[in-house]
């Protein structure tokens, strides 16, 4: 139709950025419409965070069932893996969550529209369902949350054998051999998941080490544990090309200057993601972008066009779901007249690798670079009763504090449960707590939480359980 519907706040994209922004804006009294061209939940719920964590967990479970625990006297025989069932289960997890998002949007009176958005001007969009039907919407404010897609290497065109992360999550059989290009967190997570399920995995990383976003020592823990599972790593490896056949691939790479080839069933390319900002019509409205397509915003997520906001993977910063959601809340609050702005210090970075890695705030080195007189105080999982009884003793937590007053300004955790343990350090940062505050907080025994308390005791110079 050609009549226009009036909307207070239009949200484009229903990933963890968009759907959270829509709910918050509606809670604050806005009349909200959200438009999604694919599935509610975006990359995160459908083909990212959630299905990858489900696959990783299936890998862990299969590994422990098939390998048993010799040390505990638990052995096992004849463990079986029905991968199509794993896929069914994984899909059911995704469906529960995306169904939940739909319920929440409706429960908050957010109008859900399916279709693809194109901006006509700074207060009008065209939403197309297909080639023939489209509808015009008028808005006062708009939050753009269109997310990102995998980068395609010119020498590795995606196909049935050359996979992006989405296809890698949807395989119907566990491959015998898999080459992963890119040792960032997505590549490493998927490498780990398939290695646990029995695949022989080779990771080719262009840089000098994997997981460059984390401290070297943490990344080394992961590399060591993946090697134990049979994963092979090649660093300073430039993947140069692929030959495909009906049965597999032959990947060529220049590893430390030498030509190498790798045979596998599939090659998975995880070399980064590209913001979905090129097909929206935003440039002609004067919305400023950097050369790599990221939209420029201020601390309130406002673009150079004052009633258009941008959040999530399409703006600078770590492309993570919780960052997108956080920015979504800020943008919705700003539009609703609240004095909200982003502060990124408390954004945790997590890799669901083996072991898990997590970091929040400053690392010791970053803190020193930023001019803080900072100290790092470490406590090993080995000295924690709960970690030992969980057979999870390989890891550590490091608290980064300011020397003069003990203010918590960062923390890193490597080990099982790191993804949850980092939350307490994040809370300490957000609440402006000192190491003494953490040390004085009574933690239940025996729990992994005590590790955080004891690292804080290290920071104030009176640890009980290490010398
Ligand atoms: P998206 O989730 O990408 O959502 C954008 C939505 O906008 C999509 O649904 C898209 O269809 C829609 N859209 C795009 N263009 C239009 C248009 N023109 N009109 C209408 N709709 C449009 N992050 C974590 O924090 N933790 C993890 O464990 C994690 N694991 C990951 C694992 C994998 C394999 C991948 C690929 C990513 C993972 N991420 C993880 C990253 C996370 O998925 C993203 O950071 C997050 O989804 C970004 O949210 P978003 O709202 O910005 O965009």
Q: Given the CA of residue 44, which atom of ligand 1 is nearest to it?
A: 43
- By alpha-carbon position, which residue is closest to atom 12 of ligand 1? 13
Residue 104 CA, ligand 1 centroid: distance in Å: 18
pLDDT greater than 80 at residue 5: no
Whether residue 186 has its Cβ less than 6 Å from ligand 1: yes
Whether residue 268 has its Cβ less than 6 Å from ligand 1: no
Q: Given the CA of residue 19, which atom of ligand 1 is nearest to it?
A: 51
* pLDDT, position 4: 66
Q: Which residues contact 293 (CB under 8 A, 6 or more apart)?
A: 274, 275, 277, 278, 314
Which residue, 120, 146, 137, 122, is CA-closest to 278? 146
Whether residue 182 has its Cβ less than 6 Å from ligand 1: no
Distances in whole angstroms, Cα of residue 427 to Cα of each of 93, 169, 236, 452? 29, 33, 38, 12
- In contact, 226 and 192? CB cutoff 8 Å: yes
Residue 144 CA, ligand 1 centroid: distance in Å: 12
Q: How confident is the model at residue 1 (pLDDT cuts 50, 70, 90)?
A: very low
pLDDT greater than 70 at residue 432: yes
- By alpha-carbon position, which residue is closest to atom 30 of ligand 1? 49
Mean pLDDT, range 109-115, rounded to an integer: 98
Cis before 355? omega within 30: yes
3-state secondary structure the chain: CCCEEEEEEEEECCCCCHHHHHHHHHHCCCCEEEEECCCCCHHHHHHCHHHHHHHHHHHHHHHHHHHCEHHHCECCCCCCCCHHHHHHHHHHHHHHHHHHHHHHHHHCCCEEEECEEEEEECCEEEEECCCCCEEEEEEEEEEECCCEEECCECCECCCCCEECHHHHCCCCCCCCEEEEECCCHHHHHHHHHHHHCCCEEEEECCCCCCCCCCCHHHHHHHHHHHHHCCCEEECCEEEEEEEECCCCEEEEEEECCEEEEEEECEEEECCCEEECCCCCCCHHHCCCECCCCCECCCCCCECCCCCEEECHHHCCCCCCHHHHHHHHHHHHHHHCCCCCCCCHHHCCEEECCCCCEEEEECCHHHHHHCCCCEEEEEEEHHHCHHHHHCCCCCCEEEEEEECCCCEEEEEEEECCCHHHHHHHHHHHHHCCCEHHHHHHCCCCCCCCHHHHHHHHHHHCCCCCCCC
Whether residue 37 has its Cβ less than 6 Å from ligand 1: yes
pTM of the model: 0.97
* pLDDT, position 3: 60
Q: Which residues contact 235 (CB under 8 A, 6 or more apart)?
A: 183, 205, 207, 208, 209, 210, 256
Mean pLDDT, range 82-110, rounded to an integer: 98
Pocket test for ligand 1, best of 40, 44, 149 (most atoms within 8 A of CB): 44
Mean pLDDT, range 119-123, rounded to an integer: 97
Whether residue 363 has its Cβ less than 6 Å from ligand 1: no
Q: Is the ipTM of this complex over 0.95?
A: yes
**Cα 48 to chain center, whole Å?**
8
Whether residue 175 has its Cβ less than 6 Å from ligand 1: no
How does pLDDT run across 233-278, given as a tens digit for each residue? 999 999 999 999 999 999 999 999 999 999 999 999 999 999 999 9
Mean pLDDT, range 409-431, rounded to an integer: 98
- In contact, 405 and 434? CB cutoff 8 Å: yes
Geometric angle at alpha carbon 286, from 284 and 287, rounded to 5°? 105
- By alpha-carbon position, which residue is closest to atom 35 of ligand 1? 48
Pseudo-torsion of CA 94, 96, 101, 103, nearest 10°? 160
Mean pLDDT, range 388-404, rounded to an integer: 95
How does pLDDT run across 139-174, given as a tens digit for each residue? 999 999 999 999 999 999 999 999 999 999 999 999
Geometric angle at alpha carbon 160, from 157 and 165, rounded to 5°? 75
* pLDDT, position 2: 55
Give the chain's mean pLDDT: 97
How does pLDDT run across 136-146, given as a tens digit for each residue? 999 999 999 99
- By alpha-carbon position, which residue is closest to atom 11 of ligand 1? 38
| Token duo for residue 425 | 């350090």
Residue 185 annotated as part of some ligand binding site? yes
Report the alpha-carbon distance of residue 182 to residue 61 in Å, rounded. 26
Residue 14 CA, ligand 1 centroid: distance in Å: 9
Whether residue 320 has its Cβ less than 6 Å from ligand 1: yes
- By alpha-carbon position, which residue is closest to atom 14 of ligand 1? 146
Residue 187 annotated as part of some ligand binding site? yes
- By alpha-carbon position, which residue is closest to atom 34 of ligand 1? 48
pLDDT greater than 80 at residue 65: yes
How does pLDDT run across 345-387, given as a tens digit for each residue? 999 999 999 999 999 999 999 999 999 999 999 999 999 999 9
Counting residues of the chain whose pLDDT is more than 70, the rounded percentage is 99
Q: How confident is the model at residue 131 (pLDDT cuts 50, 70, 90)?
A: confident
**465 an active-site residue?**
no
* pLDDT, position 127: 97
Q: Given the CA of residue 165, which atom of ligand 1 is nearest to it?
A: 34
Residue 254 CA, ligand 1 centroid: distance in Å: 32
Whether residue 36 has its Cβ less than 6 Å from ligand 1: yes
- By alpha-carbon position, which residue is closest to atom 50 of ligand 1? 147
pLDDT greater than 80 at residue 424: yes
Mean pLDDT, range 205-228, rounded to an integer: 97
Residue 205 annotated as part of some ligand binding site? yes
Whether residue 144 has its Cβ less than 6 Å from ligand 1: no
- In contact, 316 and 294? CB cutoff 8 Å: yes
pLDDT greater than 70 at residue 413: yes
Of 60, 114, 322, 445, which one is the catalytic site residue? 445
Q: Which residues pair with 128 in a beta bridge?
A: 116, 134
């Amino acid at each position: 139709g050609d009549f226009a519907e009036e909307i207070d706040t239009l949200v484009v994209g229903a990933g963890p950025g968009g759907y959270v922004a829509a709910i918050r804006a509606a809670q604050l009294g806005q009349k909200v419409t959200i438009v999604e061209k694919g599935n509610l939940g975006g990359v995160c719920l459908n083909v990212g965070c959630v299905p990858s964590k489900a696959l990783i967990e299936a890998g862990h479970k299969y590994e422990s069932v098939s390998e048993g625990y010799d040390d505990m006297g638990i052995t096992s025989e004849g463990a079986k893996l029905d991968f199509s069932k794993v896929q069914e289960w994984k899909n059911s997890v995704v469906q529960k969550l995306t169904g939940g998002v739909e319920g929440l949007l409706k429960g908050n009176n957010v109008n859900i529209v399916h279709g693809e958005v194109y901006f006509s001007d700074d207060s009008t969009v065209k939403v197309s369902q297909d080639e023939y039907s489209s509808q015009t919407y008028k808005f006062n404010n708009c939050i753009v949350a269109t997310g990102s897609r995998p980068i395609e290497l010119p020498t590795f065109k995606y196909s049935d054998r050359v996979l992006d992360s989405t296809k890698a999550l949807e395989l119907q059989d566990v491959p015998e051999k898999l080459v992963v290009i890119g040792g960032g967190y997505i590549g490493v997570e998927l490498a780990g998941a398939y290695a646990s399920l029995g695949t022989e995995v080779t990771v080719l990383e262009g840089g000098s080490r994997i997981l460059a976003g984390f401290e070297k020592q943490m990344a080394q823990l992961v590399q060591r544990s993946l090697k134990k599972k049979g994963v092979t790593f090649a660093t300073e490896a430039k993947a140069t090309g692929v030959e495909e056949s009906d049965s597999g691939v032959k990947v060529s790479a220049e590893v430390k200057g030498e030509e190498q080839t790798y045979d596998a069933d599939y090659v998975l390319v995880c070399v980064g993601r590209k913001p979905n900002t090129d097909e929206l019509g935003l440039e002609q409205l004067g919305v400023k972008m950097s050369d790599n397509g990221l939209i420029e915003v201020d601390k309130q997520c406002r673009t150079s066009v004052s009633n258009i906001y941008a959040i999530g993977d399409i703006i600078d910063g770590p492309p993570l779901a919780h960052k997108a959601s956080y920015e979504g809340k800020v943008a919705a609050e700003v539009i609703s007249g609240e004095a909200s702005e982003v502060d990124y210090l408390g954004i945790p970075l997590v890799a669901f690798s083996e072991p898990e890695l997590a970091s929040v705030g400053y690392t010791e080195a970053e803190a020193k670079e930023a001019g803080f007189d900072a100290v790092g105080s470490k406590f090993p999982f080995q000295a924690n009763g709960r970690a030992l009884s969980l057979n999870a003793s390989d890891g550590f937590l490091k608290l980064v504090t300011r020397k003069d007053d003990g203010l918590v300004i960062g923390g890193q955790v490597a080990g099982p449960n790191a993804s949850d343990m980092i939350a307490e350090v994040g809370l300490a940062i957000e609440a402006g707590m000192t190491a003494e505050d953490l040390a004085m907080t009574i933690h239940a025994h025996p729990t992994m939480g005590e590790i955080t308390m004891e690292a804080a005791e290290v920071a104030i110079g009176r640890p009980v359980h290490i010398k």
